[in-house]
Each structure stands twice: as C-alpha cells, then as structure tokens.
Structure 1
Amino acid sequence: MKKTILVAGATGSLGNKICSELIKRGADVRAIVRMATDFEKIETLKNLGIEVIEIDLTDHDEIVNVCANIDCVVSALAGLGDVIIDLQKRLLDGALQAGVPRFIPSDFCTDYNDLLPGENRNFDLRRQFKMYLDSSSIQASSIFNGAFADILKYNTPILNLKDKSIGYWGEKADWKLDFTTMDNTAAFTAEVALDDNAPRNLQIASFQVSPNMIWADVKVATDQEFRMQELSSLEDFAQIIKKQRADNPAGEAELYAKWQQAQYMYSMFSTHHYQLFNQRYKNIDWTTGLDYISSFVK
C-alpha cells in the first residue's frame, strides 16, 4: 500500500533530497513550509511531484490537520533550540494527536548517545528533544550519519587543501571518522521512512576513513603527499574550545559558530560508529572514500 510521508524542513538541501528519494520509491510526499516561504523553493518541490502546504508552524491545530492520515513524519529541520526543541515538540505533539505512527527526528549527525553532555551544544539540543520524543508513544527512528562528507571540501584541519595538510588530535592518526554523503543520507532516510520495522537508532557511513587513510586517498587521487600533523591532545583541544566559546558569547545565537565547528571536530575524534546499518536496504549505492575525495581533490 502506498505510504504518505510528511517532511518538515523540505526546503533545505537534505530535506529536498529526502523528498526526491521518497518520490523515487513511490511514496506520496507532503512538505510543510512556513508561511511566506520563498516561491522558487516551493516551485522546486512542486516540480518533484510533492504537495507543498504552507502553514503557521506555531499553530497546533494546523499541524494536527496536516498530519492527518500520515504514515511517518520526517524532520529535516535545522536550527537552535527554538527549532530543534520547540518546533520539533510542536510537530511531534501534532503528529501524536493526529495518530501518526512513526517519527524521524532531525538527528543527522554523529551518534551523540555515548558522548558526554556539554561537549557539543547542537548535540545537547538533540539530546533534550530525544528525551521528550522517547517519553511519547510514537515509534521513532534516529539516523546517525556521522559528518556530512561535504566538510572535507571546506579546508578544515582534517583536510586542508590550501596548505596541503591533514590534521588530527590525540595521537589518533588511525582513528576512523564517519562520513556520509548527503545523497546517501537522503536515500537511507527515505528507506527508513517507508520501513515500519526500522529500529530506534541506525548508524550509517558512506565511508569510514582515518587521517592516515585520507592521506593515502589523496596520494592516489593527486600523486601528492600531504603533510600529516598532530594538532594537540584531545584534552588540550577541549580546553581551547571552552575558551573560544567563553570569548565569543555572540556565537550562542549562531548555528555554526566557530567554537561549535570545533566541537563537531572534537566529537568526531571522541566517538565513531561501531555497527553500521548500511546493508539493511539493498538499493543504495554507497560512495567510497577514494571516489569522494577524488571528486574534488586535484
């Protein structure tokens, strides 16, 4: 039987791709967007065959109405506490009242369950919503994709194309980092949304690669040998991040403040995925580390 999936955050890059993957799989897809959302973004969704519904996301009754006869709500929302906690709570409350059986929260990140609270501001927001979600009766599935592979393109310390260096913390040159492309994340999310038996937590990674493995892939792709460097101990890195945060209080209102970006790096070297669910669905073509790095490193 054809399933009807409601997507929140569909105008974002990931949300748009999730909608497209759901359409490919024959789902009936509805996207809720804020009032006065950019016309071009709405038209892009409509051209995919998606029903776009503009609602007041502060109005509980409107959320309940749009959740009627929905099989699963997918949240691809991005933001701070007003979105990840407050808006997702309103979305969940509306889904529960409408009788929606399943909910996928916006947990598209490293699996924070084994991390200490306080180490990552954005993970803490998700952790707070998770407590609310798990206290409800709805069947939830969180998708943990590690880091989006795109960050490898942005000259972070892990791979800096400008100075031809590869950095790591805490003597972890062989520590495997979890990266997933946005396309792979979207395809997997679509499969989970249509899978009534999906488990609570699903860890995925297009590829797991250590700094030493990144060095080797860059060597194959370019025949260049980048400089490897240990940047500091993890303990020193944690203290540096705390000072950055204390010195930049304005960053508390920024989604990706500089210290928040550093917190993501710290988390990547503090935990990684031990049980991947990549093979749960057979029709996803997972991108390899070498293929991805070769696509942009020259």
Structure 2
Amino acid sequence: MTTTVVVAGATGDLGGRIVRALREHDTHVRLLTRSRSSPSAERLAATYPGVEVVTADYTDHASLTTALDGAEVVVSAVSGTRPVIGDAQRALLAAAVEAGVQRFIPSDYAADYRSITPGTNRNFELRREFAADVDAAPIRATSVLNGAFTDMLTGQAPLILFDRQRVLYWSSADQVLDFTTKDDVARTTALVALDPAPPRVVEVAGDRVTARSIADAMSRLTGTPFRLQWAGTAGTLSAMARVGRRLSRAGDDEPFPAWQGMQYFVSMFSGEAELRHVDNARYGVQHWTTVRDVLAAHLGT
C-alpha cells in the first residue's frame, strides 16, 4: 500500500531533499505551499512524478485540515523563528490531528536540544517548546536529531579558517561534535516517514569528530599544517552571543544571525547538545558522508 506523506516547507533546501528521498520509495508525496503560484513547488512536482501540490494558509484551519486529509504522515521542514517553528507548526499539528494523520515529524533536524541550559540557544529552545506541544497531542511523533549540518563547514559555520590554516575551538579541542549532511538527514527522514513504528527520537550522525581531528584531516587533505586555535571557553562565547543578540538590529526575527551561530557552537562545544543514542544502523546499512568527504569535495582533492 502506497503511503501518502505531506511535506511542509518542501520548497526549502532541506525540504526539497526530503521530497527527493521520499520519491525513491513507494510514496505519494504532497507538497504543502501557502501560495497558489509557487514556482519552486511546481518545479519539484515537475521533477518528481507522483508529487502533488496542495495549497493552504497556516492561519486557515479548515483548508489546512483539508490539505492533510488522507495522509498517513506529515513531515515538517519549515524554517524560521517563533512565528514559524512555534505558531505555524502548531497550526500544522492541530490540522494533522483533526485530519486523522497517524504520525508527525517536526522540523527539528538539529543537535540534541532537550538538555541545553535555558537562554543559551534560541533556536533550540523554540524546538523544545514545540516538542512539549507535540508530546501533548494525540498523534505519534518522531524527531530526527543529527547534530549540525556537515555542509555548513565549508562556509556558513566559521569553524575552519581555510585561508589562515586554523581550526577554531572553544573550551576543549577534544569535545565530540556530531555532523550529518543534508542529504543524509533527508534520507533518514524519508525512512522515518515510512517506518510504521519509529521511536519518539531517531538520532543519527554522519560523522563524529573533534576540532583536533578536523585539523588533522585538513592537514592531510591540503598538505599544509592546520593548527588548532583556542577561541575561549563556551561560557565566554555564550556571553558574546548574548551581547550580540541585544545589539542586533533584526532582533529575534532573523533565523540565523551571527549570534545564533555563536549559540550553536556554545551548545556543541559545551557538550550539552551532543547526541547520546546514535543509531545509524536502524534502517540497515547506509552510506554516510563523512566530514572528510565534504571537505575533500570542497577542496577538489
């Protein structure tokens, strides 16, 4: 029997990858879009036969419920701040419950936000708040936790200073850091969506490294010594992030300001967000893209 999966946020980077991963299986995929004319959604539907585009505004409960009717699973890949991760997802969750959807996958796709210190990571706290709503709802839910996206190491996450042959670290160069590529996260999410009885949380890590091992990998890949550079403690970085947040002109409206990136490093290098129950073998033997693989591709080696 073909499973019907609704993907919210499908026109985003990760959402599009999830759609592609789902279409590798016997699934009927619906792309949920708020605009009646969404070129991105139309391109996805044209690229992957069997994909249907449905339109509903998150503020219109009736139309949202209709869009989800008959689906077994709702996958949320929306991205944003409180109006999206909180308000829009709550509307999506309520509609899923009313439509009789069996399972819900929230837009987590992150490190383990469940035990971070309050006030140290805004985006993680928004996910923790929404998780409480999910747990209280009469629907089975599964969160996918994957650490940070490995793809960010080549640009967005300033951990590796390529031009200066340095790898930054806070507190300890031997703190375990979890990384998974977006494609591997998308594949895992698709498998979770098709799993009739997944657990509340599925933890995967394409690679588990340290700042020290990243420096060693870069040295080997480039033939040039990459040295570790201590940038302070995780506590110092957290204080800097708080100052940056107060001075930010965008306030809390911007999804990934510089201070939020600092907060992510705080969560990782403090060890609070480290994954504790990684189960890469849950869905059998899979190919996991390592940090070295991503760096090698970036360097063209």
TM-score (norm: length of structure 2): 0.95
Deviations 1:203-255 (A, max 9, x none): 11110110111011112211111121110012222211111112225231111
Confirm or deny: 8 A CA contact 2:11 2:40 kept in the other structure.
no
Matched with 1:257 is 257
What SS does structure 1 have at the residue aligned with 2:29? strand
The answer to which of 9-18 and 218-227 deviates more is: 218-227
Aligned match of 1:292 = 294
For residues 125 and 42 of structure 1, the distance between their equivalents in structure 2, rounded to whole angstroms, comes to 30
Letter of the aligned partner of 1:234 in structure 2? A
Post-superposition CA distance 1:38-90 (Å, at most 9, x none): 32442233321210112222210111111111111000000111111111011
Contact 1:155 1:162 in 2 (8 A): no
Task: Indicate the residue corresponding to 2:246 in structure 1.
Answer: 246
Please tell me whether residue 198 in structure 1 is matched to residue 198 in structure 2: yes
Question: Which residue of the partner structure matches residue 35 of structure 2?
Answer: 35
Runs of 4+ deviating beyond 6 Å: none
Whether contact under 8 Å (1:206, 1:287) holds in the other structure is: yes
Conservation of the 8 A alpha-carbon contact between 1:219 and 1:225: yes
- Greater Cα offset, 279-288 or 125-134: 279-288
Please tell me whether the aligned partners of residues 85 and 130 of structure 2 are also in contact (alpha carbons under 8 angstroms). Answer: yes
Take 1:47 and 1:297, find their aligned partners in 2: how far apart are those partners? 30
The residue identity in structure 2 corresponding to 1:291 is: D
- Is residue 6–residue 67 contact of structure 1 (8 Å, CA) maintained in 2? yes
Contact 2:10 2:41 survives alignment (8 Å): no
1:177 is displaced (CA, Å) by 0.6
Separation of aligned partners in 2, 1:91 and 1:14:
18
Q: CA RMSD in A?
A: 1.4
Paired residue secondary structure (2:161): coil
The 5-angstrom pairing of residues 55-204 of structure 1 reads 55-154=56-155, 156-170=157-171, 172-204=172-204
Aligned residue number for residue 214 of structure 1: 214
Give the gaps of 5 or more residues in structure 2: none
Of residues 215-224 and 87-96 in structure 1, the stretch that sits farther from structure 2 once superposed is 215-224
Alpha-carbon distance in 2 for matches of 1:93, 1:22: 24
User: 3-state SS of the aligned residue for 1:79?
Assistant: coil
Q: Which runs of 5+ in 1 are unaligned?
A: none
C-alpha distance in 1, partners of 2:69/2:55? 15
| Distance in 2 (alpha carbons) for counterparts of 1:188 and 1:156 | 23
CA distance in 2, matches of 1:247, 1:55: 37
Contact kept? 2:8, 2:15, Cα under 8 Å: yes
1:226 corresponding residue in structure 2 = 226
Number of positions where the alignment pairs a residue of Structure 1 with one of Structure 2: 297
2:125 maps to a residue whose letter is D
Which amino acid is 1:93 matched to? A
Write the distance in 2 (CA, Å) between the matches of 1:21 and 1:278.
17
Mapped to 1, the partners of 2:42 and 2:112 lie a distance apart of 32
Give the C-alpha shift of residue 140 in structure 1: 0.4
Q: TM-score, normalised by structure 1?
A: 0.96
Cα distance in 1, alignment partners of residues 247 and 283 from structure 2: 46
- CA–CA distance in structure 2, aligned partners of residues 47 and 211 of structure 1: 39
Provide the C-alpha distance between the structure 1 equivalents of 2:86 and 2:16, rounded to a whole number of angstroms.
22
| Alpha-carbon distance in 2 for matches of 1:147, 1:155 | 11
Shift in Å at residue 27 of structure 1?
A: 0.8
Letter in 1 for 2:191: E
Q: Which residue of 1 aligns with 2:55?
A: 54
Change (3 A) 1:62 1:277: same
Alignment partners' CA distance in 2, 1:41 and 1:217: 39
Describe the SS at the equivalent of 1:166.
Answer: strand
- Residue 26 of structure 2: SS of its match in structure 1? coil
